[in-house]
Amino acid sequence: MTTSLVLVVAVLLLAYANGANDNFKGVATLFGSATCDYRRALAVATVATLLGSLAALVAAKGLLAAFSGKGLVAATALADPAFLPAVAVGAAATILLATRIGMPVSTTHALVGALIGGGLAAGGGRPPCAPHPHLRRAAACQSRARPRRGGAALSVAA
């Protein structure tokens, strides 16, 4: 029961962080164009977010089962009752910090980063399982692109 309560509180914190970061983005033009005052635009954003959440509950029932971290994190880490709350709190902290300091942030990226970080921590700092194929491709692209960008920056600076 306690683990479930901790998980619910962690997920609510993550939802709060996501709302604090994303809520107003969808209706910023209403305020920016002076179509609505700040309070009315915020009310529209709140109602739209609530309706979107309710629609997501109906439309995405299988999403949680489809994306459980399987293949990204070892099954032993996923089985640990403290793992999912740690991921939710880590992602929420990342989003809240980025929102507070005015940095752009993606909730999806924060969640995937928290899953990978939690998996690394659970595995003693080494990858707990083979990296996901998409992650391998992204890492390969990053490592190939870095020298070229650096070289181009040096040639422009010179």
Position 145 scores a pLDDT of: 46
Look at residue 118 and tell me if it is in a domain. Answer: yes
Residue 138, in any domain of the structure: no
Determine the average pLDDT of the residues in 13-42: 83
In a domain, 141, yes or no: no
Give how many domains the chain has, as a whole number: 1
**Is 59 within the bounds of a domain?**
yes
Over residues 102-131, mean pLDDT: 75
Distances from the Cα of 133 to the Cα of 27, 121, 130, 145, angstroms: 37, 21, 9, 18
In a domain, 68, yes or no: yes
Examine residue 132 and state whether it is found in any structural domain, yes or no.
no
The most confident of the ranges 43-52, 61-70, 144-153 is 43-52
Side chain identity at residue 61, one-letter code: K
**Contact (CB, 8 A) for 126 and 120:** yes
pLDDT at 126 over 60: no
- Structural domain contains residue 113: yes
- φ and ψ of 28, to 5 deg: -60, -35
Residue 143 has pLDDT above 50, yes or no: no
**Pick from 72, 50, 88, 158: nearest CA to 123:** 72
pLDDT in tens, 49-104: 888 878 877 777 666 666 666 667 777 777 888 888 888 888 899 988 988 888 88
Backbone angles phi, psi at 110, to 5 degrees: -65, -40
pTM of the model: 0.62
- Does some domain include residue 150? no
